[in-house]
Amino acid sequence: MKQIFLGFGSNIGNRRVNIEKALDDLERYVEMKLIKRSAFYETEPVGKKDQSFFLNLVAEFETSFSPDELLTVIKKEETNLGRKQRDHWDAREIDIDILFFGDECIENGTLIVPHKEIPRRRFVLSPMAEIAPEFIDPRSGKTIANLLEECVDQSFIERIA
């Protein structure tokens, strides 16, 4: 089993329900075991500002899926949960990102893990620091806590229940 971290976001519909349903659906796979999850965070949209704020959460899982298998499962779950194809920075019913896949750095035609923007994204670093502050980003060699301290992102973020 491989330790992974997934980021969840939603800003259309009942955001909390969308994320809870995504977590529940992923946990139903025998290849996925939920270990820990952060609180919810209300966050300002990045890129395209004229839309509703997001609800975000980071969860730690253990999985026996390969990175590509996991991506296929995530895309299927997003579709099942009502995600529509829109432009890059547009609103989303649900967005599930593979943040970290153990200590691997993956760059193939379909997947880049860890995402190169993580050090500049408070909406990822804050919830992740809540559950895994000492996890080391394999790309930078820094802990999540260190990356959060150094993060220059000034976007609004608030931890909520």
Buried b (16+ CB within 10 A) or exposed e, 89-116: eebbbbbbbbbbbeeeebeeeeeebbbe
Two structure tokens written together for 154:
């000034």
Q: Decide if 87 is catalytic.
A: no
Q: Could you tell me which of 81, 151, 139 has the C-alpha nearest to residue 114? A: 139
The H or E element containing residue 14 is none
Catalytic: which of 15, 50, 87, 92?
92
Query: Is 104 in a helix, a strand, or coil?
Result: strand
Taking the C-alpha atoms of residue 51 and residue 90, their distance in angstroms, rounded to an integer, is 8
Q: Is 95 a catalytic residue?
A: yes
Say which of 83, 121, 122, 137 is annotated catalytic.
83
Catalytic residue among 25, 28, 86, 97: 97
98 vs 107: CA distance, rounded Å = 12
User: Residue 92 catalytic?
Assistant: yes
Residue tagged active-site, from 15, 95, 121, 122: 95
- Hey, which residues are catalytic here? 83, 92, 95, 97
